Amino acid sequence: MKERTIWEQIADSFRSRSIWMLHYCTGCGAMELPPTMTARFDMERFGITPMATPRQADIMLITGYLNTKTLRRVIYTYEQMADPKYVVGFGSCTINGGIYFDSYSTINRLDYYIPVDVYIAGCMPRPEAILEAFNYLMEKIRKGEADGWKRYKENYDWYKQNQIRSLGEVYVHDEFHE
Amino acid sequence: MTSSMSNLVKILEGFNPFVEEIDEKEVKITISSDKVVAVLETLKSNGYSHLSLMTCIDWIDDNQLELVYILFSWKNGGKFLVSTRIDRNDPKFVTVKELWPVARFYEREIHEFFGVEFEGNDDMKPLFLELWDEKPPLRKDFDPRDYSRKKFPDRKYEKDVIKEAKIFRGEING
Ligand code: SF4
């Protein structure tokens, strides 16, 4: 990894204290976010808050299994987000397919298509585990280790090739908008 | 079977159905495929006006596909299951979109997942799957595991006993 300049270190330190997450949920994991967001676990005390548009968000949560149809939208969304951006994969479905390992329409591992900074194991991880992962991600950002977005740029061809192999085509054809 | 339902079954006698009573308010009628539309029409005009579900079952050993229409009555809460079997190798049937416009979407779904053609319904675009390149996936001879292995690579898992022991003892964070 390249040495960071002092300014980058300061910027990373600030970034880690104000992470806005994109409010986009797939799979079953969305169920664990309301308690994480609201009074019981209250993730806003760590500076994490939901954001409606990808252009202003810093992290994307992939909360569970992704089928090929959703993966196209996820790639669109991920590419719309501004740098620096981080991805957190929730649950065993994003790690190795989980109980959908033999499904004909859900992917098996997420980091093959977009770079993932933190994985949370479990089916489904509880809010404590999610907060633990957010703290770990903040730590990684502070140390400059959360560099998924750089890896995506450097290995763009590899990611694109994987995406095309599994999806056929990344472009979204939508019967209601064409 | 409630009395109003058994009256209806008597009306349907002419179609030569095989009637099974599933529950107090649930009756299954199996008929030959050319009489389905007439039976559905009769049921619809007798109060069973709500098509709750239309679905398909693959009986691969009999080489047949079973189509099931579930009709519900808002007047007495009764349910009729109208079932018929069609040939699996040349799956063709008529559309019921004139009776229930919502059937268009059920038919698209069945076309997509079982490969049944519905004559008269020419909007057969895929509904759920995008860029599907195999045989219809809910047919019993389709192997989802094989397809998944071909298209979606797995994560290789290497056993590392020492690391696992360390995680187990809480020395490192797995
Ligand atoms: S890991 Fe479990 S809870 Fe999460 S999406 Fe998969 S099946 Fe659902």
Kindly write down the DSSP assignment for every residue of B50-117, as one continuous string.
EEEEEEEEEETTTTEEEEEEEEE-TTT--EEEEEEEEESSS-EEE--TTT-TTHHHHHHHHHHHH--E
H or E stretch covering B35 = none
- Number of structural domains, chain B? 1
According to the model, what pLDDT value does residue B50 have? Answer: 93
Q: How confident is the model at residue B99 (pLDDT cuts 50, 70, 90)?
A: very high
Q: How confident is the model at residue A163 (pLDDT cuts 50, 70, 90)?
A: very high
Whether B112 maps to a domain, the answer reads yes
Q: Is the CB of A125 under 6 A from ligand 1?
A: no
Whether B174 maps to a domain, the answer reads no
A12: left (phi over 0), alpha (psi -120 to 50) or beta: alpha
How does DSSP classify residue A106?
B
Task: Tell whether the model's pLDDT for residue A41 goes beyond 70.
Answer: yes
According to the model, what pLDDT value does residue A178 have? Answer: 65
A-chain residues within 8 Å CB-CB of B131?
A: 68, 167-169
Q: Is the CB of A54 under 6 A from ligand 1?
A: no
According to the model, what pLDDT value does residue A177 have? Answer: 66
Q: Is the CB of A95 under 6 A from ligand 1?
A: no
According to the model, what pLDDT value does residue B171 have? Answer: 81
pTM: 0.84
- Quickly list H helices, chain A: 6-15, 33-37, 68-80, 91-96, 127-143, 148-154, 156-167
Judge: B155–A105 Cβ closer than 8 Å, yes or no: no
Q: Which CA distances in Å does A143 have to A3, A51, A59, A95, B152?
A: 11, 25, 17, 24, 33
A interface mutation test: which of B130, B135, B154, B173 has the most A CBs within 10 A?
B130
Task: Tell whether the model's pLDDT for residue A68 goes beyond 70.
Answer: yes
Question: By alpha-carbon position, which residue is closest to atom 2 of ligand 1?
Answer: A123
Closest-CA residue to B68 (of B58, B82, B79, B80): B82
- The mean pLDDT value of chain B amounts to 90
According to the model, what pLDDT value does residue B174 have? Answer: 59
Closest-CA residue to A86 (of A118, A110, A127, A108): A118
Task: Tell whether the model's pLDDT for residue B55 goes beyond 90.
Answer: yes
Instruction: List, for residues B56-83, the tens digit of each pLDDT value.
Output: 999 999 999 999 999 999 988 899 999 9
Domain boundaries, chain A: 6-166
A-chain residues within 8 Å CB-CB of B144?
A: 102-104
Whether the bond between A84 and the residue before it is cis, its omega within 30 degrees of 0, is yes
Whether B130 maps to a domain, the answer reads yes
Paired tokens of B51: 């098509």
Whether B115 maps to a domain, the answer reads yes
Question: Any idea what the CATH number is for the domain that residue B24 is in?
Answer: 3.30.460.80
- Please measure the distance between the N-terminal and C-terminal CA atoms of chain A and give it in whole angstroms: 44
Domain span including residue B115: 3-169
Whether B73 maps to a domain, the answer reads yes
> How many whole angstroms separate alpha carbon B111 and alpha carbon A101?
25
Task: Tell whether the model's pLDDT for residue A125 goes beyond 80.
Answer: yes
SS3 B174: coil
What's chain B's Rg over C-alpha atoms?
Answer: 23
Topology (CATH) of A6-166: Rossmann fold (3.40.50)
Task: Tell whether the model's pLDDT for residue A84 goes beyond 90.
Answer: no
According to the model, what pLDDT value does residue B153 have? Answer: 87
